[in-house]
Every structure is written in structure tokens, then in C-alpha cells.
Amino acid sequence: MQTLQPNDKNELASIIRDAKGENVRLEIIGSGSKRAIGRPVEANYRVSSAQMSGITLYQPKQRMLSVKAGTHLDVIEDALEKYQQILGFEPVNLGGILNTREKPETIGGILATNISGSRQIHTGSAKNHLLSLRGVNGFGQIINAGGDTIKHVTGYDLRRALTGTWGTLVFMTDITLRTLPKPEQTQTLIFSGLLDVLAIELMNKAMATPYEISGAMHLQAPLVKNLTTEQNRATGQSLTALRLENFSFSTPCRMQKLQDLLGPFGDHIILDDDESHDFWSDMRTLKFFHNSKGPLWRIAAAPNMASEIVSAIKSHHPESIAAYDCAGGIIWLQTPLRSDAGASEVHRAVLNRGGNATLIRADKELRSNTYVFQPVDTQIKSLMKRIKMAFDPFGILNPGRIYEDI
């Protein structure tokens, strides 16, 4: 399939307008690092943001960064590092689990999927950090949404609404993000050998404190062997981690208070700055799932329902393995290699307890034949279709990426 690489938003708009006239469907990509997620798109051409790349404005004093959508994440993070700033939502790097390491992630792709990392438990997901965006809709019109300020209520909030729409409503071209100061010191409190239920109780007890936990993760025992550092691999037992990030005058005090509170949960160790960095880098790349090939689900749930959801799925697929991020609010679940990835059991378990499931890793055939995204009821589906019609009535942009008809 031919890949078109427009140089700017006007060229892109022209391509989409032409597509409208010729009944052509377009697959929207950044670098293609997330092409293996979602339903495969049947399209005539591929359009990439590769040529729309670069930082257009960085104002560290305003905590604001404007970039073109095709800008690689590492370019952005290098620029922020110079001013000791970060992206608050800690984008997840899926290259290791999707085997697309050679394709650097683009900021457009990250916002189109809204898959955010462990820090979202404290600072919110990518959409909470998006100040404004520009994109081209299915009419070939350039649309601006949002403003370069935290507060903004001028018409419908398209910047949040368009984040996570997988390129089915607009092709993002320009993005302005809020940046955050890089924490001065990071420490991680690690418990070993806790069962899921107890680990989730511990994490949520910590989350109810005022110590601003910025990461709460529990890995089941079989996942620990894949971690980078020997110290974390050594026990071979499940591992529960809580991250504190703050000033150097704050983190150790808060850590002490946390230890005092959570001590009864058992033995624990503290990782310092560098060790913490290594550990959370593993979490950010989902390193614990790199050496496996089974279908991988991302499940959003109420934290107190998380272990029950996993147990319900495991009762059908005992080989399933889970990592609980965000104190249980996000579950990364690997199911056995089967024809349907355990989809019906996963969807049922989630439906009965609240939440939603997205199939992140699976082969193309499976993604074509099962619900990659949690099925929704007819009223919501009908509303989604009407929204699709409002942006892309000719079905040009990423047709069928989310559901067969969206």
C-alpha cells in the first residue's frame, strides 16, 4: 500500500478532500508503532505524519510545549530534560510488547490512543495534559481545538474528546502539551510476596494518604523474572511497588510515614533514585511481558474489583498472568494463546463488574474477528456513529479501527 507523507496540514487537508471525491479510504499512522493494536484498517492509501515533525515552541516558564504530531517521543523528552521537565502522563512505550522497537513512537500516536503510564494515577492520563490540538477532519477541513491555557471552556471541549479516538475523527497535525517539573527525588517502596487481594488493599491504603503516590503497581510472581535489575528479580515472588516523587526535603519524610503506615503488610525495601528509575522504566515499557507472545489485554476497572475480574478470567484460563497498575485501576492481563484470546470471558468478567477491556496484543486475524475494544450497548454505539458522521461522514479516516462500523 502506498504511503503518503504530507509536509504540512494544508497538504494533508488536500489529500483528504481528494479522498472524499474519489471514495478513497485512508489509514492514518505516525511511525506505525501502534498499527498492531486495534482492528486492522482496510484502506486504499496510508497517510503518515512522518514529515510533520519537530518542536515548534517550548516555553519552560509557561510549562508548555508545542509540537507537530509526527514528532518522536524521544525528541520531546530530550528537549524537556534540558529544562528538568517531563510529560506528566508518562507515556507507555509499547515497542517491546508489540515488537516494533524500530519504530519510534510519535506524540500524535500517543494522543490518538491515550494509553498513559503509571503516573496517570496522580496526574491523569494524556488527555489531561493536552492544552490544544489542530487536526484535519474527514471533510478535509482544518480544525483547532482548545487553547494554550489550563482553563478553557469555549465551545465543546474537542481536545479531550478527540484524544483516544484512534485517528477515526481527525488526523492530528499540531499539539500543545502541558509539561511538569521533573521531580527532584524519587523513591520506591517495594513489598514482596503479597497475594493480589492484599496488594490491592495495600496500594489503595497508600492512595488514601496525602503523600501523592505517583505509581502503584503489583506484578504477579511469574512476571518478576523479566525485570532488569537483579535486586527486583531475586525474590521470585510477587512484587508490589509504590512510588514517591517530590522534593529531596519531602520524599524521605513521606517514605518514612508510608512505611509506618504499611509496615504490617510485611517485609519491604526502598529503591533510591537510580534504582527507582530502572524499575519504573521497566513498568513504562511493560518489560515484564516482553518475553511472551500471548494475547495481552488492558483492562480499566474499579480498583476494588480488579482481583475479582482477574480471578473470574483465570477460572476459565488458569494460565493468565496479571500486572495491576494504578492500584488496580488498570490491569495488564496476558491470556493464553487461543483462537479468541479469551475475549468472551474477558468481556463478560468486565461487564459484570464494571470497566472495559482493550486487546493490545494479538495477531491480525484475531483482531479482525473479535472485539478489540469492549462492546458497547446500542444506544452508545448509535451515538458514536453519529459523532463519526459529524467528523467524517464519508468514512475516510481509519475506517473500522475501533468497531467494524466506526
Partner 1 sequence: MSSLNIRKPSEKVLWNKVKLQLELKKHIGSDHVIIDTEGCNIYSRDAYTSYRQTPLAVVLPENDPQVIDTLQFCRTYEIPIIPRGAGTSLSGCASAYEDAVVLCLSRMNKIVEIDYENRTVTAQTGITNFAISETIAEQGFFYAPNPASQMSCTLGGNIGTNAGGINALKYGTTSAHILGMKFITIEGDVIQLGGNFGDSIGYDLGAFLIGSEGQLGIVTEATVRIIPKAENARPMLIGFETEKDASKCIAAIMRSRITPSAMEFMDKTAIQISRPTVDYGPSDKEQLKNTDALLLVEVEGSETEITAQLNVLEGIAFEHFHTFTKISNTDEDAKDLWQIRRNLYPALCKQAQTYIIDGTIPANTLPDVLPKVRHICANYNLQVIHIFHAGDGTLKPIILYNSHDAEDSANVTKAVSEILRLCLRVGGYLSGEHGIGLEKRDLMQDQFGPHEIGQQTRIKHAFDSRELLNPGKVFPVNMV
The residue written with cell numbers 515472588 in the block is: 237
Question: Residue 171 or 224: which CB sits closer to partner 1?
Answer: 171
Give the residue ranges of DSSP H helices in 134-227. 158-162, 196-207, 221-224
CA distances from 137 to 44, 46, 117 (A): 18, 16, 28
Question: Residue 227 or 402: which CB sits closer to partner 1?
Answer: 402
CB of 154 to partner 1, least distance (A): 5
What is the identity of the amino acid at 394? F
CB of 232 to partner 1, least distance (A): 27
CB of 337 to partner 1, least distance (A): 24
Distance (Å, whole) CA 304 – CA 240: 16
Share in percent of the chain as helix, strand, coil (round to 5): 35, 25, 40
Residue 64 main-chain phi, psi, to 5 deg: -145, 135
Which residue in 125, 73, 129, 117 sits closest to 281, CA to CA?
Answer: 117
Question: Residue 126 or 227: which CB sits closer to partner 1?
Answer: 126
CB of 101 to partner 1, least distance (A): 26
CB of 324 to partner 1, least distance (A): 13
Distance (Å, whole) CA 40 – CA 291: 24
Question: Residue 181 or 236: which CB sits closer to partner 1?
Answer: 181
Question: Residue 179 or 232: which CB sits closer to partner 1?
Answer: 179
CB of 226 to partner 1, least distance (A): 25
Distance (Å, whole) CA 406 – CA 394: 11
Question: Residue 72 or 129: which CB sits closer to partner 1?
Answer: 129
Burial (CB count <10 Å: 0-12, 13-18, 19+), residue 245: buried
